[in-house]
Amino acid sequence: MELREYVHVLRRSWLLVLACVLLGGLLAATASWRQTKMYAASVTMVVSSSDEAVNAASAYQGGLLSQQRVKSYANLVASERVASDVIARLHLAESPADLRARIEAQAVPDTVLLRAVVRDADPQRAKLIADSVGEAFSAAVERIERPSEDEPPSVHVRVWERAKAPTAPISPQPVRNVVIGLLLGVIVGIAAGIGRHRLDTSIGGDSDASVITGAATLGMIGYDSDASRHPLIVHLSPHSRRAEAFRQLRTNLQFVNIDTGPRSILVTSSVAQEGKSTTVCNLAIALAQGGARVCLVEGDLRRPSFGEYLGIESAAGLTSVLIGAAELDDVLQPWGEGRVGDGRVEILPSGPVPPNPSELLGSRNMAELLEVLDSRFDIVLIDTPPLLPVTDAAVLATRVDGALLVARTGRTRREQLRRAVGALRAVDANLLGTVLTMMPTKGANSHYYGSYETYAPHPRHLRSRGEAGFPNESSPAIPAQGRARATSAAGTSSSDGRPTDGRPVDGRPADTRVADGRAAKPTAAARKAATRAAVEADSRLGGRKGSRSKPRSAPQPSTQPATSSSAAEGTDQVSAEDSPAVEIAAQRQPDEPTAPLAYGTADYPDHPAGR
């Protein structure tokens, strides 16, 4: 692993590392709190030769003898004989072995000093034991160094400095223990993160997918907890991070092959529950918003889901056409009133579930149907079953221009993705690229999503757009139909100016429904702004055939009512009696701002915005 990979692993496993660090510190603090406090008292002894020095040479030899004895005596201080003598002196209720474990002796280098340290839970008892050790050891040396009862010992050991009662414990040391616990937690956490990374066989990011598939990662769709409740995010929330990710996928598809470009695209995955159906639906809407005519084919004949996501009827569809039970035009269903943005989306549902899906998808009728769809639409998107459980997608992949392979980050296994690519390669299918879903929006792969979130339109702009007659995020994006369509001559109107025969009003069909099922009725302010914008557009079309009323002057009666045909042909005459827009324009103050155009300008070739 390279350093960059280690950093990536640490960023992915920072929670695990943090948990190990906190656990290590907590365990160390708990152990320190439960540990018995121990105190230490020390006694210092001096070793000297008993021979009287008559000259410098004998004094030097006596000093060397004392230093040699100090090194040996350091091992005898904690002997069983000394411990037994101390227990007898102080009447301690413990064994010599237990006492020896709490006695340590060390010789001070290059001196004749010997220091004994005694540890005990009671500071006063530690002092008493240390003093008793000094006395008991001195007596033991006297017996050892005495050659006979009548002769004095050659070496003496005397207590030089008696022990003092300690005031602070030597253990535990909570600060040191906690620091050690934290460091151990860091080491264990990093080791666990690296181990988990090596044992984890799931797709972790675009680098993993590119290495396995050998194709580019065309899209990375971020994780959204509300994705199951709002699958069509491009339509319901066009300024969200996930919606922008689908538009990025649309853009990348356009650059797969600049000269020809794929016309028919199959969308599949290795296993189920990877998000291929929601991906293909959102991609279709994004392509239509870019001006493409899109046909969305539900090729998953085993578990169809378009009826749930798109709210369409799936009783008749693809299987009905393939077996000759229905014509294509009879089962194609427009979505979004037939238009989405500048394009349109038409859906070919699955139809009745057949007993032989693979045979139907690989039949000659399916090939001929795809040719018909290619000739009628700019893009044909086909949702198919996963590659590994069944062969439907592999069979159909040979009849399309390319395939998109969807993989779920953190769930799809590398081996599963490798086998799925192998299934496509086996039939010589064209793998356009991969799409990763459920990408983490925090951590190593979150740069793009976080940056786009800060560049979404301000709510103030969205409100002003809705007040000016444009669709806002809470209602479906229905394009403007043009003033000629909006002022159709046929039909009658109600008292508030809205047609009663289903004609469009303000560029919106009368039976338009929003997501919550209520009719999308334009407000009075929106109708007023739209009418005012239309009159303002008329006032700028000077020099065209026909007479017009002056928007700034008093209304003049006209002998011809305004009709859609006259508007389209350049004879757009507005009557003061038939059109309240002229009266509104006449009453508007000169400094009153003009509302944005709520109608399309395609019907006005002379208008600056229509050129």
Question: For the chain, what are the domain ranges?
Answer: 3-35+184-199, 39-161, 206-453
Q: Does domain 206-453 have CATH number 3.20.20.70?
A: no
Distance between first and last Cα of the chain: 59
DSSP E strands, 100-203: 103-107, 113-120, 155-161
Per DSSP, the three-state class of 22 is: helix
CA 460/CA 463 separation, integer angstroms:
5
**279 and 267 Cβ atoms separated by less than 8 Å:** yes
Please give the Cα distance from 35 to 173 (Å, whole number).
10
User: Which single residue is written with the structure tokens 């500048």?
Assistant: 342
Compare 583 and 136 and report the one with higher pLDDT: 136
4-18, 25-39, 574-588, range with the lowest pLDDT: 574-588
Distance CA 467, CA 463 (A): 6
Q: Evaluate whether 39-161 and 206-453 have a shared fold.
A: no
User: Which of the given ranges, 230-234, 367-371, 574-578, has the highest pLDDT on average?
Assistant: 367-371
Res. 83: pLDDT tops 60:
yes
Query: 500 or 234, which is more confident?
Result: 234
Strands 343-348 and 431-439: unpaired
Q: Is residue 366 within 8 Å of 350, Cβ to Cβ?
A: no
Per-residue burial over 115-152, b if 16 or more Cβ lie within 10 Å, else e, is bbbbbbeebebbbbbbbbbbbbbeebbeebbeeeeeee
What's the token pair of residue 414?
A: 């590398």
| The two structure tokens encoding residue 201 | 């066989």
pLDDT reported for residue 231 = 84
Look at residue 468 and tell me whether its pLDDT is greater than 80: no
* Residue 580 pLDDT exceeds 50: no
Which sign does the torsion angle of CA 288, 294, 295, 297 carry? negative
Return the residue matching tokens 């293909």: 280
The token duo for 58 is 């004998």
Q: Does the pLDDT value for residue 485 go beyond 50?
A: no
Token duo for residue 478: 């229905």
List the single range of 24-33, 106-115, 162-171, 220-229 with lowest mean pLDDT.
220-229
pLDDT digits (tens, 9 = 90+) for 401-420: 999 999 998 888 889 999 99
The reported pLDDT for the residue numbered 459 is 55
- Burial label for 427, CB within 10 Å (0-12, 13-18, 19+), is middle
| Euclidean distance between CA atoms 356 and 316, whole angstroms | 17
* CA dist., res. 387 & res. 21, Å (int): 43
How large is the C-alpha radius of gyration of the chain?
45
With 80 as the cut, is the pLDDT of residue 475 above it? no
Local structure of residue 312 (DSSP, 8 states): -
Residue 100 CA: distances (Å) to CA of 26, 130, 134, 474: 33, 12, 14, 83
pLDDT at 11: 81
- Taking residues 279-288, report their average pLDDT: 92
CATH of 39-161, one of 3.30.70.1130, 3.40.50.2300, 1.10.287.130, 3.40.50.10490: 3.30.70.1130
560's tokens: 């011809």
Closest CA to 360 of 396, 314, 408: 396
* Better-scored residue on pLDDT, 314 or 285: 285
Residue with tokens 């944005």: 596
Question: What does the DSSP 8-state code read for residue 610?
Answer: G
pLDDT of residue 566: 36
**pLDDT for 516-553, tens place per residue?**
333 344 445 545 554 554 445 444 434 333 333 333 33
Structure tokens at 212: 């396995």
Backbone angles phi, psi at 296, to 5 degrees: -105, 110
**Token pair of 277, please?**
């159906």
**Per-residue model confidence as pLDDT tens digits over 153-207:** 778 888 999 999 999 999 888 999 999 999 999 999 999 988 887 887 778 777 7
Which range is least confidently modeled, 83-97, 254-268, 352-366? 254-268
**Cα dihedral angle (264, 270, 276, 280), rounded to 10 degrees?**
-10
Using pLDDT thresholds of 50, 70 and 90, give the confidence band for residue 500: very low
Mean pLDDT for 64-75 is: 79
Q: Is pLDDT at 609 greater than 60 in this prediction?
A: no
The answer to whether residue 4 scores a pLDDT higher than 80 is: no
pLDDT tens-digit map of 310-349: 888 888 899 999 999 999 999 999 987 656 666 889 999 9
Sign of the CA dihedral 77, 82, 83, 87?
A: negative
Are 400 and 382 a contacting pair, CB within 8 Å? yes
**What is the rounded average pLDDT for all residues in the chain?**
74
- Take residue 549 and report the two structure tokens written for it: 């009323």
Instruction: Return the DSSP state at 284.
Output: H
For 339, list phi and psi in degrees, rounded to 5: -135, 140
Q: What would the pLDDT profile of 44-57 be if each residue is shown by its tens digit?
A: 998 887 655 444 55
Is a pLDDT exceeding 80 seen at residue 261?
no
> Other C-beta atoms within 10 Å of 517: how many?
6
According to the model, what pLDDT value does residue 343 have?
80
**What is the per-residue pLDDT for 337?**
63
